[in-house]
Amino acid sequence: MRLRQIEVFYAIMTTGSLRRAAELLHVSQPAASKVLRYAEQSLGFALFERAGGRLVPTREARIMLPHVNAIFEKLSDLKRLTNNLRYARDGHSISIGCVPSLGLSLVPRVVQRYRKDHPGMELTIDAMHGTEIVSRIMNHDLDLGIVFGDYTFEGMTALHLADIPLMMIDGEDGEGPVSVTDINPERYIGLSENDPTARMLDMLLEEAGVPAKTHVRVRTHFMAAELVRLGGGCAIVDAVTALHHPGLAPPRPLSP
């Protein structure tokens, strides 16, 4: 299939109508119908069937859709890359990725100060997980990223900014430092195993003889903190989240 044929197919699948697909693509309905007809002829099977004045996707069309979605995701990535390359050449734009915990508290403050010193600079900021940030930097979709943990890859420069301690947050009262041996596995809210903090904590729990299996695992420190706030148990999160998440009891530092 040619790209234009894929565009028409995708537009029909998205809008559910040949007329609306033509409007979306800014072409006439006969022109869109002609492209669809040529696409079906080249494929050797129908993509849509008419039923009650509507175009209903065939089985083949439904099977094709995930692959077409992937094509358009790649096209979006390409567009974002070319924009980044253009703005990088002009020196007018920086694209930044940060982990959600920092994106909800620390990064906005830093960005605001930066904008005051560089009023003409365009900034694009996305909150995502560390592995995705690294992947997008390696693919030139981001200029820089701010993550927890140690990520070292050839072709990427990493700079240590700060050490952020881990803290215990709990809906139950407590004071002073807390050890991993004090964790009740039945109440512990863990982090996704892909999180570098989670991997480190799981090793500490294993070394301390505390069962690392948890009943609840979440992808972000913020979500863990929110579950604790709602009475869901206890969690170990970064100090930024522990100190800035509203409605939490005073956090306790994690002792070695």
Domain membership flag for residue 161: no
119 and 74 co-located in one domain = no
Q: Name 234's bridge partners.
A: 170, 188
Predicted confidence (pLDDT) per residue in 182-222, tens digit: 888 788 898 887 777 777 777 877 787 776 667 788 888 88
| Inside any domain, residue 158 | no
71 lies in the same domain as 120: no
Through-space distance between the first and last CA atoms of the chain, rounded to whole angstroms: 60
Regarding whether 229 and 184 lie in a shared domain, the answer is yes
Query: What is the DSSP pairing of strand 48-51 with strand 54-57?
Result: antiparallel
- Residue 73 and residue 98 in one domain: no
26 and 63 inside one domain: yes
Residues 69 and 142 in one domain: no
- Which ranges constitute the DSSP H helices of the chain? 3-15, 18-25, 29-43, 59-90, 100-103, 106-117, 130-138, 196-207, 221-229, 239-244
- Regarding whether 101 and 34 lie in a shared domain, the answer is no
pLDDT of 213: 67
Rama region for 6: left / alpha / beta (φ>0; ψ in -120 to 50; rest): alpha
Give mean pLDDT, residues 166-183: 83
* Residues 106, 133 within the same domain: yes
Q: What confidence category does residue 59 fall into, taking pLDDT thresholds of 50, 70 and 90? A: very high
With respect to residue 83, please indicate whether it lies within any of the assigned structural domains.
Answer: no
Domain that holds residue 7: 3-78
Residue 205 lies in a domain: yes
Predicted local confidence at residue 35, as pLDDT: 93
Say how many domains are in the chain: 3
Residues 171 and 142 in one domain: no
Q: 1-53 pLDDT, tens per residue? A: 888 999 999 999 989 889 999 999 999 999 999 999 999 999 999 999 988 77
Are 249 and 178 found together in one domain? Answer: yes
The CATH number of the domain where 9 resides is what? 1.10.10.10
What is d(CA 6, CA 30) in angstroms, rounded to the nearest whole number? 17
Secondary structure class of 7 (helix, strand, coil)? helix
The answer to whether position 110 is within a domain reads yes
| pLDDT tens digits, 81-140 | 676 666 555 556 788 899 888 887 788 888 888 888 877 777 888 888 888 898 888 888
**Which pLDDT score is estimated for 183?**
81
What letter would DSSP give residue 192? P
Over residues 154-169, mean pLDDT: 84
CATH number at residue 210: 3.40.190.10
3-state helix, strand, coil in the chain (%, to 5): 50, 15, 35
Identify whether residues 242 and 199 lie together within a single domain. yes
pLDDT at 155 over 80: no
Positive or negative, the CA dihedral 127, 133, 135, 136 is positive
The answer to whether residue 153 is domain-embedded is no
For tokens 């240590």, name the residue: 160
Which one, of 200, 195, 253, 204, lies nearest residue 224 by Cα?
Answer: 195
